[in-house]
Amino acid sequence: MATEKTVLYSQDFIDTLLWAVPNPTLILDKDFNAIKANNPFYEQFETSVSAIDSYSVYHILADCTDLSKVKEFLDRKEKSDNEVESNNPILIFRDISYLVKVKYLRYDNLSKELIVLVFENITEKQQQQELIRAAKEKIIESEDRFRIIADIQDQKNFVNELEEKVKLRTDELEQSKNFLAMILNSADFGIASYEPIYDDSADIIDFRITYTNADVPQNVGLTIEQVIGKTCKEVYPGIFENGVFDKMKTSILTGLRDTYEVKVPVKNGNMIWLTAAIELVNGSLTITSKNSTAEKEAALNLEKMNKLLNAQNEDLASFTYIASHDLQEPLRKIRMFTSRILEIKDENLTSKALDYFATITATVERMQNLINDLLLYSKMDVEIPKFTRTDLAVIVKQVTASIDGDLDENQVAIKIGQLPIIDAIPTQVRQVFSNIILNAIKYRKKDINTEIEIAAQTDYINDEKFWKISISDNGIGFDIQYKDKIFEVFQRLHGKLEYAGSGIGLAICKKIMKHHQGYITADSILGKGSVFCIYFPYNDRYS
């Protein structure tokens, strides 16, 4: 069987074809077994999906008269591409005559050949032809026998009636055409058909626009009427410069599908991005296109922001190196030489001088702690740690074990309730619990034993479910007006000599919780204690 004219169709196009075609339509595989049909076929041939599924066309149409003619026609059709309509067979089912039209398609997803049978109801046409023939014979007979004006008038009325029926049928076909046009015009993408134009040497020099919906010319400020029948050189000259014409020409020559993305100017001086696909259909090109300006600009902006972020990360890496080496090196030398002076134990050093050296040592230590905390705070925006299954009970035990000396020295009792398992970054969550518990120890009351309680429960924020972990203490507390300020970098509620610290610990906790798509809050009563609540997204897998 010849394949030069075989067309590649997509699944969506075949489904749309079945839905839009008003005539009964049956699709067969190469062995003439049914694959699918449209509703008009099921209705007019009084059958169903289950009754045709995988059955031979000859089984499905067994009740039709002249089925043998269809078989002979399909056998001939399989060996040639001759589509002369007068050779098509006529089937009769329930006294209704159908002209059988056959088309071979290549179904691209399944990579196999399909056969489409379209059944055109020609009963009315045959009846009309018979009526017209009878009318003509009657007119001739009347003219020969009677030559009476009244008979002629009767025949005129009869012809008028036939003409009215033909007009009604024509209107129905026009409605079907308009319906299909409405579907194409209401699509949220452009679709147009282009016919190649050849020169005397059979080379493609241009394309003529044979069909388009409104979306295509609207992109460049034109209407359908301004482009239909025109050549691309007349209305879309830019395609000869941006490579689109070459892609169209190649698709005609190779029959291969292609895509492209181009930036084109519009009438107001702006530029738009178009994304399109080219497909060869019956010797012409069908191009579907979409205005992708918003998506493209978003992608370009994201690329720009990524470059900016990479530059900032490089700057941060430089800062990290400086903070890790250049800033800390002088501090290490100050501590070293101060330590050596104190080791000499010169009798000339007064107690006041020794106090000065002690102050220098404490200040250097505080400065090193501050630098280390700044490094930790800045690295959180660069590193991409992995979320894993994390048991908070295990995390809290690890934290209390690491500060066991502080707990014993300061007579701190920690009561730990049942804690959940979550998706988290273990090292960061450990840092959160460590900072909050150490703060509770630091800001304890001197005259009573410190008590810390850790508990868990579920809670909702903006209709989203979270695990709420509360860490409460009976320490000195703070003024509630500062409940947000304490999470800012370098914000301290007490003097640096009164309570040691860098003022970054809670800011680190806030950033860690942000990385976990969670929250951290604080509540307190001055003189009675504080409650810190951390919220982790609830995960049903660990419930």
267-304 per-position pLDDT tens digit: 777 788 888 999 988 888 999 888 877 887 788 888 88
Contact 536, 516 (CB under 8 A): yes
The number of angstroms, rounded, from the C-alpha of 426 to the middle of its chain's C-alpha atoms is: 32
Give the CATH architecture of domain 190-291.
2-Layer Sandwich (3.30)
Query: Which residues sit opposite 50 in a β-bridge?
Result: none
Place of tokens 């410190």: 450
d(CA 399, CA 454): 13
d(CA 285, CA 260): 14
Q: Is the dihedral of CA 117, 120, 121, 126 positive or negative?
A: negative
Helices (H), 345-500: 351-379, 392-402, 404-409, 426-442
Q: Is the dihedral of CA 288, 291, 295, 297 positive or negative?
A: positive
pLDDT per position as a tens digit, 43-97 = 888 888 888 888 888 888 888 887 888 888 887 766 555 444 457 888 888 888 8
Fold of 388-542: Heat Shock Protein 90 (3.30.565)
d(CA 474, CA 403): 19
- Identify the pLDDT of residue 78: 60
pTM of the model: 0.41
Query: Which residues sit opposite 109 in a β-bridge?
Result: none
d(CA 484, CA 365): 28
Residue type for 430, please?
R
d(CA 28, CA 13): 16
Contact 173, 166 (CB under 8 A): no
d(CA 396, CA 429): 9
d(CA 18, CA 8): 16
DSSP assignments along 109-138, one per residue: TTTEEEEEEEEEE-HHHHHHHHHHHHHHHH
Query: Which residues sit opposite 453 in a β-bridge?
Result: 415, 472
Query: Which residues sit opposite 93 in a β-bridge?
Result: 96
Backbone angles phi, psi at 6, to 5 degrees: -65, 140
Question: What 3-state class would DSSP assign to 458?
Answer: strand
- Identify the pLDDT of residue 341: 73
- Identify the pLDDT of residue 116: 86
List the end-to-end C-alpha distance of the chain, in Å, as a whole number: 64
Place of tokens 């239909």: 228
Strand ranges (E), 252-378: 258-265, 271-281, 284-291
d(CA 68, CA 288): 42
Is residue 281 left, alpha or beta, with left meaning phi > 0 and alpha meaning psi from -120 to 50?
Answer: beta
DSSP assignments along 164-188, one per residue: HHHHHHHHHHHHHHHHHHHHHHHSS
d(CA 14, CA 26): 11
The torsion defined by the Cα of 97, 99, 100 and 105, in degrees rounded to 10, comes to -140
Share of the chain above pLDDT 90, in %: 17
Backbone Cα Rg of the chain: 43
Q: Residue 298 corresponds to which tokens in the numbers above?
A: 């978003």
d(CA 92, CA 218): 48
- Identify the pLDDT of residue 148: 59
Contact 31, 130 (CB under 8 A): no
Contact 421, 536 (CB under 8 A): no
Domain 8-121 top-level CATH class: alpha beta
Place of tokens 């992109």: 219
d(CA 143, CA 132): 16
d(CA 212, CA 194): 9
d(CA 492, CA 485): 9
Q: Which residues have a Cβ under 8 Å from the Cβ of 469 and sit 6 or more positions away?
A: 392, 419, 454, 455, 456, 533, 534, 535, 536
> How many angstroms separate the Cα of 153 from the Cα of each of 133, 157, 165?
17, 6, 19
Residues of the chain with pLDDT under 70: 1-14, 17, 77-86, 106-112, 142-154, 171-188, 311-329, 331-333, 337, 342, 345-348, 355, 362, 364-385, 489-503, 543
